[in-house]
Chain A
């Protein structure tokens, strides 16, 4: 019985104009956009490779360890084609040094830098689904029951011994099958385009992630179809159902996500918290500075010059600098001596002694301040935005966006993984410096005899988290979407069973 009903509904749906239009428009938009997005990704990849090479080159040119600026770069995420998230937006290169523990807020960005271009909105494949698939789902649903009420065919069907639940189920399954056609076709085309591009290499995990995105899209689609059915069964008139559906779509997809963050007052960074954390950090560094000066006074070489008057040519930098907005503070001391003055040899051991003392102290102080900085940053910069994200998720569109970002790994967590890796890498580098006694070496400040062996440094390696973690991050949102589905279906069923024909 059910199969007969489904077959009837399926035929009804497939032969309509809206089905043809849905397939056509989805294919057109997804293919056109994927081509553009792949090009964009390739550009970003080229920028990344250039940055990698430039940073390597700049490092090799440095004659001393203290002047070497070790930068790590974040590669673009190929799945940003599906949901760009934060991938393009947040910083994608950060300096790794023993002087501070790197975070997202210390990052710079490589790549094209025309900041004006930020005023144009950018788009991704998920946005197409978010906006159009939901619209199509409503167009398929608005007359599903209201139309049958109006034409009286529902009464006809019910005169047979068909259970009402079956009718509902048949309608749901057949419409979803119809809607899956444009969804899957366009996604498959997008994936084909992705695999034909030479610069993009997708591994098994990536295909699983794309699978997750498809699953989420289907669930999202189903939410909107059920919303349409609910309106249809509640209003019983096609014209009313259509109007309500369109406004519901406009509100949920267009208006709500854009309005809600403007409407709720933006949480202010707690000024007292910022100030107290920053002064704590400053104090820690001041303490370090006192120790440093004490060392200079107590050592055998008179005076407080950190160059020890050895430099004949080259440059040096020494400063303390901080910024309270991101709680960043650094004591920077870099020396790049190309040649030493004639009688410098006697002072070299002093300098080695001093820098052998300074390096580990700087590292320790940086790690000490990190313990203050990490929770403060979390509280000041991340938690208020988490609240905003919760507000956005009150619309299915927001949930869908969050879930696909989590699958693609372009959400905030995915970006923070990179900085986590950068921090681990910093630890490796610092350990290497300790083990090789780099701080106390002559190459730390002078490049006249030996130059640093940059190639012996540990290599930075960043791998996106495995698909399990992505799934774990996406799961809450996907399950909420599933729950919305279940609730909507039950409500529709109750209304439909209770309704008189």
Chain B
């Protein structure tokens, strides 16, 4: 019986104007998305490859000099691997730097050079960009905004419309339980919304996968599958909302007005307004504060070590030890400072993201981002990778140095460390990786939240429909 009602609903929808319009709109958007991706992605990948080879040359040239040189200069720029599924979610990638810089060089005196530290450059694409401000058309946009609107347009009259026409009474006069009618309508709407969406997705993927420049592996297809399921779940949410309002309200026109206003508030306004509220509670200091602080701390350390250094004779073991302690301590302090600033910024973003989770569109965009391997969580993963690599690199330096019998094993000074060139093959290489299981951990909570929304709205629609008078 459910299937019968769903089929009737489906046939009704297939021949309707809204179905045709939805198909055209979704196809147009998805086609644009594919074309833009094909235009931009090969460039992005090429840029990444060039930079990785630059990084390897950088390491090799210093390794050929001496271990000290390598230890002082550091591994250089570490680059974030661009995701193949960038077309699914742009994820504000423009505002996250695509590199971490493990080679920040700050000062040198006649005998000493500061050691490298790990810093996190920030990306400010907007500061001198006079282009108009626009959102990227990615799957996240299509699903989050357009598909949800279409879902509402498909359901706003599904019950109130039948009541107005009197067909609802007719249907219920038969011995059909009300929940069967509701589920049938729900399924019918779900299928009819998904037909244009699937069509658009298929066209999108067809265009992308036929190009020889872009390769999607088996894992990427798996991720795309998950993203599609998320989209379906998200559509369910809005279908349930549409049914709920449609069941409660007597007239379709009123139902549509309510639904549109709810949509506008939750989808369009909530995300940005909530961020503005949340973003203000923890201001991160101005830039000049930071560099001033950094120099002040460095100055204090210099004043502390400088008299002690000059007491010892140039070239004595004692002097080398003090110099080494000075340089390493300076690097540690500065790196901690950068780390602190980064953590402060991340905390600010986390806070903003937590609050915006009230809006379903943010949830679904976060989810798509994490499965597409873009966005903020991915950036955190990249930073995690960078830190792990940096630890590995430092251990490597220590181990290589201790293997050299001629070295004094005092870090930070040229004369205290191994002068032998390093075999470039032995140096650990940084490779940025994407980890699906990790993604899933961060996404589970949001997925559950989305399901909760769907369940609450569905049961709300059920209750409303059961109690409604026809």
List the interface of chain A (C-beta within 8 A of B): 17-18, 21, 25, 29, 32-33, 36-37, 39-40, 43, 47, 50-51, 54, 86, 89-91, 104-105, 107-123, 128, 131-132, 135, 139, 143, 238-240, 242-244, 246-247, 250-251, 254-255, 257-259, 261-263, 265, 326, 381-382, 385, 388-389, 392, 412
Contacts and interface: CB of A to CB of B under 8 A. Distances in A.
B348 A104 contact: no
A247 B21 contact: yes
Contacts of B52: none
Contacts of B352: 117, 120
Nearest to A112: B283
Contacts of B271: 120-121
Given A109-B127, A118-B126, A385 B132 contact: yes
Q: Interface majority SS on A: helix, strand, loop or mixed? A: helix
A39 B280 contact: yes
B284 interface: yes
Contacts of A119: 91-92, 94-96, 349, 376
21 contacts: A51-B286, A90-B128, A109-B124, A109-B287, A112-B283, A114-B122, A115-B122, A115-B124, A116-B345, A116-B349, A119-B95, A121-B275, A131-B264, A132-B264, A139-B257, A243-B17, A250-B25, A250-B149, A262-B32, A262-B137, A389-B132
Contact of A110 (B39, B135, B286): B286
B130 A104 contact: yes
A89 B153 contact: no
Interface centre among B130, B258, B260, by most A CB within 10 Å? B130
A67 to B, nearest CB: 16
A120 B39 contact: no
Given A89-B126, A123-B272, A388-B131, 13 more contacts: A37-B276, A90-B126, A110-B286, A112-B283, A115-B123, A116-B96, A119-B92, A242-B253, A243-B17, A243-B21, A247-B22, A262-B137, A263-B36
Interface string B137-148: 100010001100
Contacts of B135: 121, 258
A135 B126 contact: no
Contacts of A108: 127, 287
Nearest to A246: B153
A473 to B, nearest CB: 16
B29 interface: yes
Interface string B330-360: 0000000000000001101100100010000
Contacts of B18: 243, 247
A51 B287 CA distance: 10
A301 B285 CA distance: 48
B345 to A, nearest CB: 5
A244 B253 contact: no
Contact of A326 (B128, B133, B277): B128
Nearest to B346: A116
Contacts of B275: 117, 120-122
B286 A112 contact: yes
Given A17-B257, A47-B286, A89-B133, A120 B279 contact: yes
A86 to B, nearest CB: 7
Contact of A259 (B29, B95, B157): B29
B141 A258 contact: yes
Contact of A43 (B17, B32, B280, B345): B280
Contacts of A40: 276, 280
Interface in B353-375: 356
Contacts of A265: 39
A372 to B, nearest CB: 19
Contacts of A259: 28-29, 32, 137
Nearest to B356: A120
B199 interface: no
Contact of A263 (B17, B35, B92, B272): B35
A311 to B, nearest CB: 17
A222 to B, nearest CB: 20
B107 interface: no
Interface residues of B, number: 73
Nearest to B262: A25
Interface in B250-302: 253-254, 256-258, 260-261, 264-265, 268-269, 271-273, 275-277, 279-280, 283-288
B235 to A, nearest CB: 16
A325 B405 CA distance: 49
Nearest to B286: A110
Contacts of A389: 132
A414 B265 CA distance: 31
B179 interface: no
Interface string B313-337: 0000000000000000000000000
Contacts of A25: 261, 264-265
Contacts of A17: 254, 257
Contacts of A29: 265, 269
Nearest to A86: B130
Contacts of A385: 130-132
A113 B284 contact: yes
B132 A113 contact: no
Contacts of A254: 145-146, 149
Return the 10 tightest CB-CB contacts between A and B, nearest first.
A119-B92, A118-B95, A115-B122, A120-B275, A123-B272, A247-B21, A36-B276, A119-B95, A121-B272, A89-B126
A271 B16 CA distance: 51
A392 B132 contact: yes
A120 B133 CA distance: 13
B178 interface: no
A240 B17 contact: yes
A261 B134 contact: yes
Interface centre among A33, A54, A120, A389, by most B CB within 10 Å? A120
B136 interface: yes
Nearest to B287: A113
A265 B33 CA distance: 12
A91 B280 contact: no
Given A250-B25, A254-B146, A259-B137, A123 B96 contact: no
Nearest to B19: A243
Interface in B26-47: 28-29, 32-33, 35-36, 39
A128 B272 CA distance: 12
A36 B137 contact: no
A128 B275 CA distance: 16
Contacts of A112: 283-286
A385 to B, nearest CB: 5
A104 B129 CA distance: 9
Contact of B128 (A104, A111, A122, A250): A104
Interface string B365-406: 000000000001000000000000000000000000000000
Contacts of B264: 25, 131-132, 135
Nearest to A143: B253
B130 to A, nearest CB: 5
A36 B132 contact: no
A59 B39 CA distance: 48
B159 to A, nearest CB: 15
Contacts of B265: 25, 29
Nearest to B348: A114
A90 B130 contact: yes
